[in-house]
């Protein structure tokens, strides 16, 4: 009998030897070699950099241990200000699962973490969180900042400890507050505000600023009927006013990890949002530079946290005007989210210099010419050093000179359309002077009654100081006075600087000239695959330009002609198709230009 007991003990010893080296630690929690250390903890998307240090307590779980062993190995971690390190607290420990696979390699451990630590009120976990409605102090605000992190590593790889990068799972709202009229600063406190109808925010007032912050659940609020912010403010001893600011038009969905910045103006009988920007989560105040008396429905701003470039999305005239008046508007991007109609008596806003991206998004700007700020400076901008694309302009009237979408194009104007009728001194559909590229643009406007000269696309293709003006893939359907596409490609006063016209078409009549496509080329200029229909001439100084294919079309737009238009290459060895557009005919046989796909042609470049 004694011999049998010895054999049983030996068998048990052999069994223990075959186990993982940390199985003892898994059971007793006292093997320091296997306890998981945390080397660094950061939060993603904060400030100008991609990550920032974190000191908030968090809970860590070894998912691999829980799965393989059916036992939870998890613990709270708190930051020690003296050592600047995180340490596990309490009796529970997170340990490594050190079992190796059949090839002798360590099995990677999967970890999940969440912050803040679970309480009865917040029910926090990696997948669940309840936002507390009272966020009236910095500590209470931080308690609503639900963050999660994942990490996968082996013990051998994490020699210095585990690295965790937390991501914000909620959205943050930040309001810069301005008071107007007889509203007293002393009347404001956290208790008078409600964000999204339920949350008491953190109100912070100093000599230099007044701000409101709240952390909210990310979701689409468009059908909730909930105001963005409400307040009951005591105006005097006898009067308390209830004020509410709804979501600005175009902003209803709040996304996780984003900070939404507003200028909130509080005055007698009104609380208004004057401007909006969206950034990655940021703990500092954002100066939006908006006017405190503007009510900007249909106005949204997104700020690139790395470059600081602002992209404005506007959907109506007032929002468009606010963009032109914004600080640094010549260094910003704009996307139209609706048609822009200039009211009678109003002036079309204008920017002198533009170097961003103007994306019309297929929308139309409608204005009477006498409502423009100064037609001699262009309709939208004076000098374009950026990209203006996919916008339609509908114009009507006289009284002024029309110099097109831009007076001078040094950048790119692409897939833009001009409609309407203009009686003016001079009129040019896309620009007056082209030093850059005009791509896939169409003029349908009638300029035939202008006093002096007019052209469907541009006047001069000026080139100096290294510019090489190019017009590629454009159509003029409008009746003009001087020329269909352009008066001059390669300005003749600067004959050493040639211009280029590729795959351009004129179908409009010319009332006072024979220049369906162009007038004078500078020496060395290029014309490829350009066409005009019956009744129009196309004159140029042939000794100054190289001419390849093209000519007058009398038998309709054949497959061969359309192929020629689509494949001719410019000086950068690109056809109109390479820029993302193509010629085709519509159901009535009319030649048109269409995008090859919905993707931006600029993105392809």
Give 155-158's long-range contacts (Cβ < 8 A, gap of 24+): 155/34, 155/96, 155/98, 155/106, 155/109, 156/106, 158/36, 158/37, 158/39
pLDDT at site 488: 58
The reply to whether 322 falls in a domain is no
Q: Are residues 156 and 286 in the same domain?
A: no
Task: Tell me the C-alpha distance between 385 and 436, whole Å.
Answer: 9
Peptide bond into 116 cis (omega under 30): yes
Q: Are residues 290 and 391 in the same domain?
A: no
CA R_g for the chain: 34
Q: Are residues 435 and 575 in the same domain?
A: yes
Question: DSSP string spanning 113-174?
Answer: EEESPP-TTT---SS-----SB--SHHHHHTT--EEEEEEE-TTT-TT-EEEEEEE-SEEEE
Q: Are 358 and 332 in contact (CB under 8 A)?
A: no
The reply to whether 320 falls in a domain is no
Q: Are residues 161 and 213 in the same domain?
A: no
The reply to whether 87 falls in a domain is yes
The reply to whether 232 falls in a domain is yes
The reply to whether 539 falls in a domain is yes
Task: Tell me the C-alpha distance between 462 and 81, whole Å.
Answer: 66
Stated as kind and residue range, the H or E segment containing 411 is none
* Burial (CB count within 10 angstroms: exposed 0-12, middle 13-18, buried 19+), residue 138: exposed
Q: Are residues 101 and 183 in the same domain?
A: no
Stated as kind and residue range, the H or E segment containing 240 is strand 240-245
Q: Are residues 131 and 184 in the same domain?
A: no
Q: Are residues 364 and 223 in the same domain?
A: no
pLDDT at site 496: 56
State which of 141, 168, 195 marks the end of a domain. Answer: 168
Domain boundaries, position 194: 170-308
Gap between the terminal Cα atoms of the chain: 87
Assign residue 559 the CATH number of its domain.
2.160.20
State which of 308, 325, 352 marks the end of a domain. Answer: 308
Q: Are residues 182 and 148 in the same domain?
A: no
pLDDT at site 297: 60
The reply to whether 134 falls in a domain is yes
The reply to whether 460 falls in a domain is yes
Assign residue 12 the CATH number of its domain.
2.60.40
Q: How many domains does the chain have?
A: 3
Backbone angles phi, psi at 192, to 5 degrees: -85, -10
- Mean pLDDT of successive 10-residue segments in the chain (605 residues)? 39 36 40 81 72 88 89 89 89 87 92 96 96 95 96 92 94 91 84 95 89 94 85 79 81 88 82 80 65 52 72 84 67 88 82 91 86 62 93 80 85 93 79 88 84 66 60 87 62 59 85 63 74 67 57 89 94 93 95 78 38
The reply to whether 415 falls in a domain is yes
Global pTM reads 0.58
Q: Are residues 452 and 366 in the same domain?
A: yes
Q: Are residues 283 and 382 in the same domain?
A: no
Q: Are residues 162 and 174 in the same domain?
A: no
Q: Are residues 574 and 466 in the same domain?
A: yes
Give 88-91's long-range contacts (Cβ < 8 A, gap of 24+): 88/35, 88/36, 88/60, 91/29
């Amino acid at each position: 009998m004694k011999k049998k007991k010895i054999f049983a003990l030996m068998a048990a010893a052999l069994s223990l030897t075959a186990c993982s080296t940390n199985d003892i630690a898994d059971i007793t929690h006292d093997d320091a070699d296997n306890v998981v250390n945390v080397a660094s903890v950061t939060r993603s998307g904060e400030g100008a950099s991609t990550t920032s240090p974190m000191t908030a307590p968090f809970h860590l779980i070894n998912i691999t241990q829980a799965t393989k062993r059916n036992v939870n190995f998890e613990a709270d971690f708190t930051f020690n200000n003296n050592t600047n390190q995180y340490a596990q607290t309490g009796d529970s420990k997170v340990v490594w699962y050190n079992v190796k696979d059949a090839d002798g390699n360590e099995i990677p451990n999967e970890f999940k973490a969440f912050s803040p630590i679970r309480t009865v009120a917040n029910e926090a976990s990696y997948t669940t969180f309840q936002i507390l409605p009272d966020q009236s102090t910095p500590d209470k605000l931080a308690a609503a900042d639900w963050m999660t992190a994942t990490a996968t590593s082996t013990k051998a790889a994490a020699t210095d400890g585990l690295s965790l990068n937390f991501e914000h799972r909620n959205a943050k709202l930040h309001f810069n507050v301005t008071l107007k009229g007889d509203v007293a600063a002393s009347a404001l406190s956290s208790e008078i505000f409600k964000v999204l109808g339920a949350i008491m925010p953190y109100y912070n007032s100093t000599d230099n600023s007044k701000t409101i912050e709240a952390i909210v659940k990310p979701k689409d609020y468009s059908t909730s009927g909930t105001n963005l912010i409400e307040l009951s403010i005591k105006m005097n001893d006898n009067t308390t006013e209830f004020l509410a600011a709804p979501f600005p038009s175009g902003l209803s969905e709040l996304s996780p990890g984003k900070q939404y910045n507003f200028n909130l103006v509080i005055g007698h009988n009104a609380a208004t949002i004057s401007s909006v920007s969206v950034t990655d989560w940021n703990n500092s105040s954002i100066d939006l530079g908006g006017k405190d008396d503007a009510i900007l429905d249909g106005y949204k701003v997104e700020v690139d946290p790395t470059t600081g470039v602002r992209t404005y999305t506007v959907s109506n005239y007032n929002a468009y005007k606010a963009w032109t008046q914004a600080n640094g508007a010549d260094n910003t991007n704009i996307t139209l989210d609706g048609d822009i109609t200039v009211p009678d008596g109003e002036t079309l806003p204008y920017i002198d210099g533009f170097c961003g991206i103007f994306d019309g998004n297929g929308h139309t700007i409608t204005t009477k010419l006498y409502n423009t700020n100064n037609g001699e400076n262009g309709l939208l901008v004076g000098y374009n050093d950026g990209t203006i694309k996919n916008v339609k302009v509908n114009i009507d009237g006289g009284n002024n000179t029309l110099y097109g979408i831009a007076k001078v194009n040094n950048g790119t104007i692409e897939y833009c359309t001009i409609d309407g009728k203009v009686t003016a001194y001079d009129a040019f559909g896309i620009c007056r002077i082209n030093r850059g590229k005009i791509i896939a643009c169409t003029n349908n406007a009638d300029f035939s009654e202008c006093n002096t000269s007019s052209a469907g696309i541009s006047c001069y293709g000026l080139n100096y100081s290294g510019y090489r003006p190019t017009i590629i893939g454009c159509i003029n359907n409008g009746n003009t006075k001087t020329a269909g596409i352009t008066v001059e490609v390669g300005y003749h006063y600067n004959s050493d600087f040639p211009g280029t016209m590729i795959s351009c078409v004129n179908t409009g009549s010319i009332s006072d000239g024979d220049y369906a496509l162009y007038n004078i080329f500078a020496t060395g200029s290029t014309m490829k695959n350009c066409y005009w229909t019956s009744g129009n001439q196309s004159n140029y100084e042939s000794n100054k330009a190289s001419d390849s294919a093209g000519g007058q079309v009398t038998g309709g737009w054949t497959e061969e002609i359309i192929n020629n238009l689509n494949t001719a290459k410019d000086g950068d060895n690109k056809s109109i198709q390479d820029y993302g557009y193509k010629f085709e005919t519509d159901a009535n046989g009319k030649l048109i230009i269409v995008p090859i796909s919905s993707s931006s042609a600029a993105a392809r470049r």
